[in-house]
Amino acid sequence: MSQTRKKNSSDGETKPRTSFVNKFLRGSKLMSSKAESRKESNDLATTDFQPSNDAQKTATLDTAQPLTSDEDWGSRMEKNEQFLQKLGSTAVDKCLDLNNCRLTAADVREVVALLPFLPDLEKLDISWNDSVGGNLHSVTQQMHLVSKLKILRLGSCRLTTDDVRALGEALKVVLELKELNLSWNSEVGGNLPHNLPHNGAFVGQLLPMMQNLEVLDLSINRNIGASLNSIAQGLKSTSNLKVLKLHSCGLSQESVRLLDAAFRSLCELKKLDLSCNRELGGGFEDSSAQLATLEHLEVLDIHQCSLTADDVMSLTQVIPLLSSLQELDLSANKKMGSSSENLLSRLRFLPALKSLLINSCALESETFTALAEASTYLPALEIFDLSWNKCVGGNLKLLLETLKFLASLRVLRLSSCGLVTEDVALLASVIHTGHLAKLRELHLSYNDSICDAGWAIFCQNVRFLTELTELDISLRPSTSRDCGQWFRHLLCAVAKLLEITEIGMKRWKLPTSQEEELEHFLQDHRRSIHFDLGEFQ
């Protein structure tokens, strides 16, 4: 879940820099080759826009000189394309995407100078640019020029208290906004304007201004939980909301009660992400009734929420009623292992389910049996993750009918399930009969109890997975083994698997003869296949 923050370039560069505005305007679809269009844009710049001194100088220098010929126009277009490729961004008249472009404070000022030329702008993404923090007010002051904006993404911008306050003022004129992303900003929900009675109340006050809001992402802001009361009240005014992401927001048991009260107003909600809120455990015991009213909900993510046995009991009454549900993530809730038999059994009432993630739940024999039986009623299932549930080992036969039945299965993850040779032989037989023909990813890593004979049977049959793109049979970090003769069978199979690009074999040691075999194989087939041998590469 974590993302790596890229270091921004210094604001104090001494090397002359070609104007960002100039380069953008050369490639923007908005700036057509017609002189009339250029004139309108220049008029707009002089009448409606009052930039800061530096930005005004830049805008004047870049737009004062008209293009005199088609040749001159073409030359500028070409230079702009080169610049955009270097910047790694996208620029068209309705979309300005500068996500993770290492913008400097000067660049932010130039973005401000662009806004008068983009009256039809619908998407502005300046996420993952640290220099936006502390400078957002310069952008929001011109937000009235892009009043058609529908998507605004400000994730990981180091937004400050003043930035959030300025954003609130700007949103009063952006009435068509449908998506607001403020994720990965640690100040949001925490150290907000001190004159408000509760931290984060300001965020709650923003929501009633956005009647058309469809996507709200406040993830990775761990102080949100402390101010959820105000936010939950604001959510009652966003009846068009379709996506609500509160991943890792420091939510508590009380948060569930507050959200439950808001759910009755969110009848259009399709995706709800409450994952990685470890203090949430116990909150669903008495506060999950309104969750059942979300009849359009397609995605429910409550992984790593420390669900208790009472939570599971309460959710057993709710989740099976979500008939539109397509993705369910219950993973990393270890207390589910002995208490989820009824819940898992009732998943059979979710025929639209496409993704079921239940890895790392410490399932026991009874709960796994209930899941195996229910899974035969899930014909649409495409992703099935049972990894890190040891009870699967020696019991894969319980999934035999499921594996035969799931014709649409694309991803099967059975990593660290304690699989034994009999399990992998059974899997090989299912593969041989063509029941998993659509499988694209198969993860069998960290199952060290499978002997060479088992791997040989598997590798002889894996060639029937004609759409497979990724296979992982890596060993645990604490172990290593020599590859047996099965490696030759694997190479023969891979030669027939035209879609495969990644094979995980970490900590499997190849003797010299097999290293040479692999080298010759890669030379002969000249395909982009990565054999990941880890430290033995």
* Averaged pLDDT, 359-375: 96
Query: Given a cut of 60, is residue 86 above it in pLDDT?
Result: no
Is residue 506 situated within a structural domain? yes
Is residue 287 situated within a structural domain? no
For residue range 2-52, what is the model confidence (pLDDT) as tens digits?
444 443 333 333 334 444 544 454 444 444 433 333 333 333 333 333 333
Is residue 37 situated within a structural domain? no
* Domain count within the chain: 2
Assess whether 76 and 225 both reside in one domain: yes
Written as one letter, the residue type at 120 is D
**End of a domain among 201, 235, 250?**
250
Is residue 429 situated within a structural domain? yes
CA–CA separation, 8 and 433 (whole Å): 54
What is the torsional sign of CA 60, 64, 67, 72? negative
CA–CA separation, 158 and 129 (whole Å): 8
Torsion angle defined by CA atoms of residues 510, 515, 517 and 520, in that order, rounded to the nearest 10 degrees: 150
If one compares 228 and 48, the residue with the highest pLDDT of the two is 228
Is residue 260 situated within a structural domain? no
Enter the DSSP assignment of 17: -
Is residue 65 situated within a structural domain? no
Stretch among 184-198, 259-273, 337-351, 375-389 having the lowest mean pLDDT: 184-198
Is residue 333 situated within a structural domain? no
- Looking at the chain, the whole-number percentage of residues with pLDDT higher than 90 is 65
Query: Given a cut of 70, is residue 374 above it in pLDDT?
Result: yes
Query: Given a cut of 80, is residue 88 above it in pLDDT?
Result: no
Spatial CB neighbours of 152, under 8 Å, sequence gap ≥ 6: 124, 174, 177, 179, 180, 181
At CA 514, angle to CA 511 and CA 517, rounded to 5? 155
| Predicted pLDDT at 296 | 97
Q: What residues make up the domain containing 85? A: 71-250
For residue range 440-492, what is the model confidence (pLDDT) as tens digits?
999 999 999 999 999 999 999 999 999 999 999 999 999 999 999 999 999 99
Q: Confidence class of residue 62 from pLDDT cuts 50, 70 and 90?
A: very low
Largest CA distance in the chain: 79
| Predicted pLDDT at 237 | 93
Q: Quickly list DSSP for 409-456.
A: --EEE-TTS---HHHHHHHHHHHHTTTTTT--EEE-TT-TT--HHHHH
**End of a domain among 204, 231, 250?**
250
Q: How many CB atoms lie within 10 A of CB 88?
A: 12
Distances from the Cα of 531 to the Cα of 202, 424, 482, 506, 537, angstroms: 51, 21, 15, 9, 8
Stretch among 62-66, 366-370, 515-519 having the lowest mean pLDDT: 62-66
Is residue 228 situated within a structural domain? yes
CA–CA separation, 24 and 22 (whole Å): 5
In terms of Cα–Cα distance, which of 326, 329, 327 is closest to 307?
Answer: 329
Tokens of 371: 């899941």
This prediction's pTM: 0.81
Spatial CB neighbours of 520, under 8 Å, sequence gap ≥ 6: none
| Predicted pLDDT at 537 | 62
For residue 299, the SS3 value is: strand
C-alpha radius of gyration, the chain, whole number: 28
CATH code assigned at 231: 3.80.10.10
**End of a domain among 250, 284, 317?**
250
CA–CA separation, 49 and 38 (whole Å): 16
CA–CA separation, 472 and 500 (whole Å): 11
- Determine contact, residues 171/202, Cβ cutoff 8 Å: no
Q: Confidence class of residue 133 from pLDDT cuts 50, 70 and 90?
A: very high
Query: Given a cut of 90, is residue 112 above it in pLDDT?
Result: no
